[in-house]
C-alpha cells in the first residue's frame, strides 16, 4: 500500500500484519493513527535525534531500540551526529515531516524516543523532562498527586511552566521548555533539585532514591531520564501494550480527571481532531534553570546533598557517590579498641 504524506509517497508493506493481537490492530492501523496525529507528533520530534523502538512482528515478537539511522533510510530524512556516554557516536534520524514518521512505522516503530536537544546543538538540552514513575504499591493516582505538587515547585523556583502528559503506562511526564544554554549534567542537576524539593514536601509519597530497595511505596522522580542518551517516549507515541495506549498530552485541569486508559490509537484521533495538539505552544516558551540550580547549590552547602548515582552503563562521573546498592555495599571494618 502507498500512503501520501506532504507530497511524498511512503510504501507500506504487509499493511494487514497484526501488531496488537488482542484487538487485531494492524500495521496499517498504526500508520493511519500517526497520520491522524501528525502535527502533534511532529511538534514533539521535529529536528530531534530520535531513537526508534521497533517491533517488526508486533508486540508479541522480538523488539529492539534502533539508535543509529537505519541503512536504506531515505536521504530526505536529516540526521544528527550524537555522542553516547561511552564515547561512541552515531548519526540518528531527525524527523522533520510526516513522511518520516510513516517511514519509521513501516519498519515497525511503535514508540519514538527523541533526545531533549535539536540537531543544531546536540549538547545543550532545550527541555527539562521530569518523569514521575509509580513504584510497586503505588498507581497513577499517586503520580497525579505528585504532579500537582511538582507544578507548585516549578512555579516557585523560576516561574517555570510544565506541560504534563501520560506516559502511556501508569506514570506521568512533565516537560519544561528551557533555554538551550546548559549541559546535560547541569540539566540533570536541576532535575535532582526539583525532585528533592518535591520529596521534602511529600516524604511519604515521593522519593529520589536510585536503588529500588530504598524507594518503598512511593513515586520515584527518575532524574536520570535527563542524563545524556536517556530519553522519554514522545507525546503521541504508541506504547507496546495490548490495548495500544498512547502517551497523551494533557491540560493541568485534566490531570487527575483523565486516565491513561482513555487514550489509545482508536480514541486519540478523535480527540486530536477536536482539540488539536494541547502542547502546541511549548515551542513559544524557553525558561531559565537558574533558580533550580541555585536550589541545588543550597542543597549541597546547607544540607550536604551532592550528586546521585548515574545509570550503570555510564562511566564514573565526578562527584558521584558509590554506585552500589546499599544492601551489597561493604560495611566498614570495626576499628580495634
Strand partners, 249: 165
- The neighbour count for residue 102, using CB atoms within 10 Å, is 26
Strand 219-221 vs strand 206-207: parallel, antiparallel, or unpaired? Answer: parallel
Cβ-Cβ contacts under 8 Å for 294 (sequence gap 6 or more):
none
> pLDDT (tens digit, 0 to 9) for every residue of the chain, 337 residues total?
999 999 999 999 999 999 999 999 999 999 999 999 999 999 999 999 999 999 999 999 999 999 999 888 999 999 999 999 999 999 999 999 999 999 999 999 999 999 999 999 999 999 999 999 999 999 999 999 999 999 999 999 999 999 999 999 999 999 999 999 999 999 999 999 999 999 999 999 999 999 999 999 999 999 999 999 999 999 999 999 999 999 999 999 999 999 999 999 999 999 999 999 999 999 999 999 999 999 999 999 999 999 999 998 899 988 889 888 888 776 655 555 5
Contact 52, 93 (CB under 8 A): yes
pLDDT tens digits along 102-142 = 999 999 999 999 999 999 999 999 999 999 999 999 999 99
Contact 216, 206 (CB under 8 A): no
CA dihedral 299, 304, 305, 310 (to 10 degrees): 140
pLDDT tens digits along 181-228 = 999 999 999 999 999 999 999 999 999 999 999 999 999 999 999 999
Q: What angle do CA 300, 304, 310 make, to 5 degrees?
A: 70
Q: Backbone dihedral region of 24: left (phi > 0), alpha (psi from -120 to 50 degrees) or beta?
A: left
Cβ-Cβ contacts under 8 Å for 305 (sequence gap 6 or more):
196, 299
Amino acid at each position: 500500500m502507498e500512503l501520501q504524506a506532504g507530497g511524498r509517497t511512503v510504501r507500506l508493506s504487509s499493511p494487514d500484519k497484526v501488531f496488537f493481537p488482542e484487538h487485531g490492530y494492524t500495521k496499517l492501523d498504526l500508520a493511519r493513527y500517526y497520520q491522524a496525529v501528525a502535527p502533534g507528533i511532529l511538534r514533539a520530534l521535529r529536528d530531534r535525534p530520535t531513537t526508534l523502538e521497533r517491533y517488526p512482528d508486533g508486540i508479541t515478537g522480538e523488539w529492539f531500540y534502533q539508535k543509529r539511522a537505519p541503512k536504506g533510510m531515505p536521504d530526505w530524512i536529516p540526521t544528527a551526529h550524537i555522542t553516547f556516554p561511552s564515547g561512541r557516536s552515531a548519526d540518528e534520524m531527525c524527523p522533520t515531516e510526516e513522511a518520516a514518521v510513516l517511514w519509521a512505522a513501516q519498519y515497525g516503530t511503535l514508540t519514538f524516543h527523541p533526545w531533549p536537544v535539536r540537531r543544531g546543538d546536540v549538547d545543550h538540552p532545550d527541555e527539562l523532562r521530569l518523569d514521575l514513575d509509580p513504584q510497586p504499591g503505588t498507581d497513577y493516582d499517586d503520580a497525579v498527586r505528585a504532579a500537582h505538587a511538582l507544578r507548585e515547585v516549578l512555579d516557585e523556583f523560576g516561574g517555570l511552566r510544565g506541560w504534563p502528559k501520560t506516559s502511556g503506562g501508569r506514570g506521568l511526564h512533565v516537560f519544561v521548555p528551557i533555554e538551550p544554554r546548559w549541559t546535560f549534567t547541569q540539566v540533570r542537576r536541576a532535575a535532582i533539585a526539583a525532585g528533592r524539593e518535591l520529596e521534602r514536601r511529600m516524604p511519604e509519597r515521593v522519593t529520589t532514591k536510585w536503588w529500588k530497595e530504598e524507594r518503598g511505596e512511593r513515586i520515584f522522580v527518575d532524574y536520570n531520564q535527563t542524563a545524556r542518551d536517556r530519553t522519554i517516549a514522545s507525546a503521541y507515541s504508541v506504547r507496546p501494550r495490548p490495548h495500544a495506549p498512547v502517551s497523551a498530552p494533557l491540560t493541568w485541569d485534566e490531570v487527575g480527571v483523565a486516565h491513561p486508559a482513555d487514550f489509545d490509537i482508536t480514541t486519540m484521533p478523535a480527540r486530536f481532531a477536536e482539540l488539536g495538539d494541547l502542547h502546541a505552544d511549548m515551542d513559544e516558551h524557553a525558561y531559565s534553570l537558574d533558580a533550580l540550580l541555585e536550589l541545588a547549590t543550597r542543597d549541597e552547602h546547607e544540607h550536604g546533598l551532592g550528586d546521585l548515582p548515574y545509570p550503570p552503563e555510564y562511566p564514573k562521573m565526578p562527584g558521584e557517590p558509590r554506585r552500589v546498592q546499599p544492601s551489597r555495599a561493604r560495611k566498614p571494618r570495626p576499628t580495634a579498641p
